[in-house]
Amino acid sequence: MAKKLPKVDVVIVGVGWAGGIIAAELTKQGLNCVGLERGKERKTEDYFMIHDELRYALRYDLMQNLSNETITFRGNEKIRALPMRQYGSFLLGEGLGGSGVHWNGQTYRFLPYDFEIRSKTIERYGENKIPKDMTIQDWGITYDELEPYFDKFEKMAGISGEENPLAGKRSSPYPTPPMKTTPSLEKFRKAATNLKLHPYNRPSANLSEAYTNPDGVARAACQYCAYCERFGCEYGAKADPVVTVIPVAKKTGKFEIRTHSNVRRVLKSGNKATGVMYVDITTGEEIEQPADIVVLTSYVFNNVRLLLQSGIGRPYDPVSGTGVIGKNYAYQVQKGNATGFFEKEEFNTYAGAGSLGMVVDDFNGDNFDHTNLNFIHGGSIAISQTGLRPISNNKVPKGTPTWGKEFKANSIKYANRVLSVGGQGASMPFKHHYLDLDPTYKDEFGDPLIRITYDFEEQDRQLAKFLTDRCKEIMKEMGANLIETMEELGPYDITTYQSTHNTGGIIMGADPSTSAVNNYMQMWDADNIFVVGATAFAHNGGYNPTGTVGAFAYRAAEGILSYRQKGGILA
Amino acid sequence: MADNSNQQEKKESLSRRKFLKSSGIAVGGLAVGGALGSLLPFKDKTTNKVDVKNQGTSENYNLALMYFSPEQFKMVEAATERIFPADDNGPGAKDLGVAYFIDHQLSGDWGFNSREYMQPPFFKGEKVQGYQGRLRRREIFDIGLRELQNHSLTKYKKNFVELSEEEQDDILTDFAGDKVNLTTLSPSGFFNMLRSSTLEGAYSDPLYSGNRNMEGWKMRNYPGSQMAYTEVIDKEFTVIPPKSLKDHLGH
């Protein structure tokens, strides 16, 4: 029998960016919150030995232990889904701060086009532009409505950046100036300018200078040590929940964090949640935490899994296209890029920061004419200087053997002579791309794993090819002696790292029949459950998702406070 | 040989100190304030001291085996040397300690696939679904090395370690190209594991027994684990003598 604890105002499942932001905002207003985190406590001092490529980048020290729980995957419904036994395509975070600890810090706002993608696509190109099975829909909110929340997230995190001439209007400039640029970034800027494109410094959560945010949290400037993605920041210079919002929530005395607490069920009575059931994994004890409001802020896969295995919401049916939980799973089209080999120059590519880069958005969203193109949307194109670590970066020109004398000589010769320009392509949802519960494979408790049914479509192949060509033009203008590019996108392959930008499954919208949550991330089918994260994305844009997730979390926090006052579905 | 490399170390260490001094990259130059400043693991006098210690010739007690038999160890040493041979750039896998690295890795989490999902049922999947076998890495190495030996004996009537470099290359090429018939595992799968762990052993922090004396990093001018690059990030290519995690422990 589960031990039952006293009721709290709000229980938050997963304490990463979304959970941390919501905890800070709600506790500031006096609500009592409990945060359940299945991983362990994390603090800056944990990262003394962080510059360890083997341990963190290749053995995934900060990531979820897959032996306890993973996902299953198949390209389509005719194939048997099999477990992702080892990491590859994306990395699942775990522990206090979640993936917010080991992200790169690239902080964008999705484009105005993203939020009204269906209307705007039809308006400009007509309904026939959208393939039959492509299930894009408007998000039930506009960029202008979201702008204040983007602004709030950026000020909390201290984002360093400069105005992007092709993005939505900003109410205020970035709180800190852009990061330093580097010779390779300057090369990109010059090349892009020559090509009449609009380069700008990538908005960064790695601080360009010391910064104190509106909550009074002071952080130091980034040291360009080159260990961001897959690593935690020993300086606290990279904004992460542990050095920003979580201490703010804790300071109120109203936020209790319980680590090693793995939530297995959302409990309900009628169409309301009554709390959650979790396991204290240090003792194995099952514990019930009653709450007035349940907020799901774990990663995309677990948010969806929790609802499905708790029997909450209408599961998506890919045959009829009805139901909503698990719908519109999307990812990122990451492979359109160009690698340049430079014979005469070497670069400090060993140095960098997760978000150090130069970007153009001329081929993102609907910033260009798609009339004669067989795809919609696009992607940001950027050069990144995140730091090339030696085990994972051994690019050699095609034709070089993959091992032996010639490989060694070339991999060393080019160690500091390779630059890449990469496209981050948007990912459109399709009727047959979705998440549901796997019928065969189980987690450590015997609960079903989540199953991904997903593959690249013609839209993605066309987009990847297009972005590749644009990247190649820029690389050529940058003066590379040899340029290599992707030849074709191929099928979606879960074994090679692409991005941890999984989206959808509990999407936001204006219509309860086609969306799971409203634009406060409140569930249409259970008004005291809020599901906050990239699960709400109706498709994935041509940018890293965290900036938009952050804005959503602030929006949701406002919604929860208002729900606490008035009750009912928020409008 | 050992004397030479000591000399080399001394020279680089001196130029490194000079560099640190002139670039202001040493800790005094870091713009980290407040509580965070105290988090910096290397501060004041420690940076130079550690180097002096590094040059000591104390015995390395890590050079022993945790998993392989001596015979397996010699095969791994020979095979990884073919993958990453000594050349004008510097040492190969053998002198970098790669075989020790792999041995030590197999004895821990990685060798047991203990942080990976290994629950049944096991089905053969599509390539894009990734590894679906039931074998763990230490078993793959056991079987793979045995088959490498068998293939050498069949093709050249000699043990793998007794083959000429060309013959060893030929045997490895057969594995890499799946030209050997094995029932239990994929020859190229084993070869790829050998290849990727060779690179790991050549370039991971020396704390894991490979990348001996940071020679792997030095070959490619990788500075290893530095606390900050604020002084060079916007500059032309700059060679910085490497540091390892040991330097950050401040002892």
In SS3 terms, A392-433 reads as: CCCCCCCCCCCCCHHHHHHHHHCCCCEEEEEEEECECCECCC
- The residues in A 75-104 lying below 8 A from B, measured between CB atoms, are 75, 79-80, 82-86, 88
Strand-pairing partners, residue B249, are none
Parts of chain A with a pLDDT under 50: none
Question: What would the two tokens of residue A534 be?
Answer: 């990239």
Highest average pLDDT, of A217-226, B21-30, B58-67, comes from: A217-226
Q: What is the pLDDT of residues A144-179, one digit of tens each?
A: 999 999 999 999 999 999 999 999 999 999 999 999
Of A352, A412, A493, which has the smallest distance from its Cβ to B89's Cβ? A412
How many CB atoms are located within 10 Å of the residue A283 CB? Answer: 9
CB of A161 closer than 8 Å to CB of A178: yes
Instruction: Give the ipTM of the model, two decimals please.
Output: 0.96
Q: Is residue B44 pLDDT above 80, yes or no? A: no
A443 and B CB contact within 8 Å: no
H-only helix segments in A81-240: 112-115, 117-125, 143-157, 183-194
Given an 8 Å threshold on Cβ–Cβ distance, is A75 in contact with B176? no
Q: What tokens appear for A542 in the block?
A: 């041509």
Hey, is the C-beta of A211 within 8 angstroms of any chain B C-beta? no
Per the prediction, chain B carries an average pLDDT of 84
Q: Which residue among A82, A412, A491 sits closest to B220, beta carbon to beta carbon?
A: A412
Q: What's the pTM value of the predicted model, to 2 decimals?
A: 0.93
- A75 vs B30, B128, B223: nearest CB: B128
Q: Which two tokens stand for residue A442?
A: 């189980």
Active-site choice (A377, A433, A501, A539): A501
A501 is catalytic: yes
Using 50, 70 and 90 to split pLDDT, how confident is the model at B17?
A: very low
Shortest CB distance from B130 goes to which of A85, A221, A346? Answer: A85
Q: For residue B31, which residues of chain A lie inside 8 Å, CB to CB?
A: 210, 220-221
Q: What does the alpha-carbon distance between residue A397 and residue A399 come to, in Å, rounded to a whole number?
A: 6
CB of B59 less than 8 A from some CB of A: no
Q: In this predicted model, what pLDDT tens digit does every residue of A9-47 receive, in sequence order? A: 999 999 999 999 999 999 999 999 999 999 999 999 999
Strands A285-296 and A3-4: parallel
Under the banding of pLDDT at 50, 70 and 90, the label for residue B59 is: confident
Nearest Cα residue in chain B from A58: B200
Any A CB within 8 A of B134 CB? no
A492 touches chain B (CB under 8 A): yes
pLDDT in tens, B139-150: 999 999 999 999
Q: Is A569 left (phi over 0), alpha (psi -120 to 50) or beta?
A: beta
Position B35 scores a pLDDT of: 39
CB contact under 8 A, A82 and B123: yes
CA pseudo-torsion sign A216, A222, A228, A233:
negative
Torsion of CA A464, A468, A469, A475, to 10 degrees: 160
Question: How far is residue A485 from each of residues A191, A345, A421, measured CA to CA in Å?
Answer: 18, 20, 10
Instruction: Please give the backbone phi and psi of residue B62, each rounded to the nearest 5 degrees, phi first.
Output: -80, -10
Residues of B in contact with A356 (CB under 8 A): 233
Res. B251 pLDDT band, cuts 50 70 90: low
Quickly list DSSP for B97-152: THHHHHHHHHTSHHHHTTTS--PSPP----GGG----S--HHHHHHHHHHHHHHHH
| B238: contact with A, CB 8 A cutoff | yes
pLDDT at A2: 87
Contact list in A for residue B235 (CB cut-off 8 A) is 183, 348
Q: Does B181 touch chain A (CB under 8 A)?
A: no
Query: What DSSP state is assigned to residue A55?
Result: I
Section B52-75 average pLDDT? 83
Which sign does the torsion angle of CA A383, A389, A393, A394 carry? positive
Task: Round to whole Å and give the CA distance between B219 and A565.
Answer: 65
Report the gap between the CA of A374 and the closest CA in chain B (Å).
Answer: 26
> A162 vs A108, A200, A357, B140, CA distance in Å?
11, 7, 12, 51
> From CA A46, how far away is CA A31, in angstroms rounded?
30
**What are B116-157's pLDDT values in tens digits?**
999 999 999 999 999 999 999 999 999 999 999 999 999 999
Helix, strand and coil in chain A, % to nearest 5: 25, 25, 50
| Residue B1: pLDDT band with limits 50, 70, 90 | very low
CA–CA gap between residue A175 and residue A161 (Å, rounded) = 8
Query: Tokens 């360093």 — which residue?
Result: A160
Give the closest residue to A140 by CA, choosing from A538, A530, A467, A433: A538
Spatial neighbors of B71 by CB under 8 A, at least 6 apart, are: none
Q: Do A403 and B172 touch (CB under 8 A)?
A: yes
What pLDDT, on a 0 to 100 scale, did the predictor assign at position B43?
A: 40
The interface residues of chain B toward chain A in range 103-132, judged by CB-CB distance below 8 A, are 109-110, 113-119, 121, 123, 125-132
**A273 Rama sector, left if φ>0, alpha if ψ -120 to 50, beta otherwise:** beta
User: Would you state the pLDDT for residue B56?
Assistant: 53
What percentage of chain B has pLDDT greater than the value 70? 76
Residue B229 pLDDT grade (very low, low, confident, very high; cuts 50, 70, 90): very high
Instruction: Note whether B183 contacts A: Cβ–Cβ < 8 A.
Output: no
- Asked if B1 has any chain A CB less than 8 Å from its own CB, the reply is no
